[in-house]
Structure 1
Amino acid sequence: MGWVDCCPRGVPFASVVATVLCFSGVALFCGCGHEALTGTERLIETYFSKNYQDYEYLMHVINAFQYMIYGIAAFFFLYGALLLAEGFYTTTAIRHIFGDFKTTIFGKGLTATVTGSPAKGRGSRAHQRVHSLERLCHCIGKWLGHPDKFVGVTYAVTLLWILLFACSAVPVYIYFSTWTTCNSIAFPSKTTASISTLCADARMYGVLPWNAFPGKVCGSNLLSICKTSEFQMTFHLFVAAFVGAAATLISLLTFMIAATHNFAVLKVMGRSDSTKF
């Protein structure tokens, strides 16, 4: 058996799917979230307040979130790659324990750092190939650390992401409420209230201070805002960012379950205390 035969056996399919979902979700969240915040800034300064001092603090908050998005993208690119490598590494170790790699050079080389015993190659060329794999595995092992640490770090990252996921739902709720109000204005038969009393008040959500003027838009003026492509695009971008956050959360939960399973198996087999992954 060669690389082609043994590679599918060592692929951690759950980690691969979670990695693709993680990268896609983070890209969707960061890209759409950044543009949605920019669109919100333009809507506020165009329609809800003419005084820069009223929304100066909001602009600083938006800029801070946009810089944070850059950090989130960089962090998850690196951490997702490490989690995928950890998935490959521990899956290979587990399948070696259960005998899946007994006859493959790939398995022998990759699990040399797990079992603590050198792999036996056939001939000098096989020995060189195995030795190269061992060196690669040792190098990766220095970066991956123990699987229990990955479980703990992933658990902490998941908790923080749940908080961020909840925060991403807030602008979706605000824009959805505004869109619902616009529908009531467009179809007066659906409500008994006067059209002029139907408003979108940015101050009510804490977006602007209460002394901001006008701070709210009502009636036909609000309907005209909702019909603009800028409002609709910003609304859909926030929805896409929310979906991306949900996809990332699912990927983190998948990573955590897979890492916990791998660590539990290695611990039961008595490998976790003496093995560095």
Structure 2
Amino acid sequence: MVRKLYGLLANPVAHSKSPVMQQAAFAALSYDAVYVPFDVQPEMFATAVAGLRAINVAGFNVSMPYKQRIMAYLDEVDEDAQTLQSVNTVVHQNGKWLGYSTDGLGFWRSLPAGKYSRVVILGAGGAARAIIATGLQQAGVSEITVFNRVSMNFTEHATDLRHLADIELQDLADESNLAKALQQADLLVNTTSVGMRDATSPLTREQMALLSDQATVVDIIYRDAPTTFLELAGQRPKQNGLPMLIAQGAASFEIWTGMQPNIAVMQRAVKKG
């Protein structure tokens, strides 16, 4: 079998754990493939995509800021990805490039076993929409409330949410609505970038204290050190974005190869890398 080429299209890409994770998954199944990170500048995007097609790449992941932009270059886009206007996985199949989104599926697969009836999400970008769209298909989820700071994109995000799931976007500064939602939440998810590079948090200690002790707290940021958001969660069940990264990567692997990857191998690779 000729060695197959897979990769990651993003900017920046140096921080990504996907290459070491996917390479380990290939090796564990003796699948002759190599996974390469491609750091592509925005002005070179079209040239880079043409190059991937020219060398007959077998598939690739897409990360920020190209999850929507890549769609114009694909032959077909999965219905869920089309709805989200976001693609993170591309596979070359029968001469065509097909696009999928595994972000939402990866998130829900990564959660500890439990019942998540009332969900509160902070942020309304692509990751949030993927989590929402898949969450509405999950057994037991009855209510999803989304909060975002009012900014120049607030109206656009609000429109996207109404079209996606008939959800009204709430102002994160509305302390009364936020307090009510937090008190009832079984699951709290931060999808914003707040806290990625510093000690800030989208919620205060007092706001986090409104959660029940049994509520699960997730920050999809996957830096090595805990974010302030997760530190404020105290002893509640909590996790960062690594389990989501692994689960969505495993779903991508299945799309590319038709095989189930070894999750334990992927987990070890991520921790080492």
User: How would you bin the TM-score normalised by the shorter chain?
Assistant: under 0.3
Q: Which has the larger radius of gyration?
A: 1
| Structure richer in strand, relative to its length | 2
TM-score, with structure 1 as normaliser: 0.23
Q: Which has the higher contact order (CA 8 A, sep 6+)?
A: 1
| Structure richer in helix, relative to its length | 1
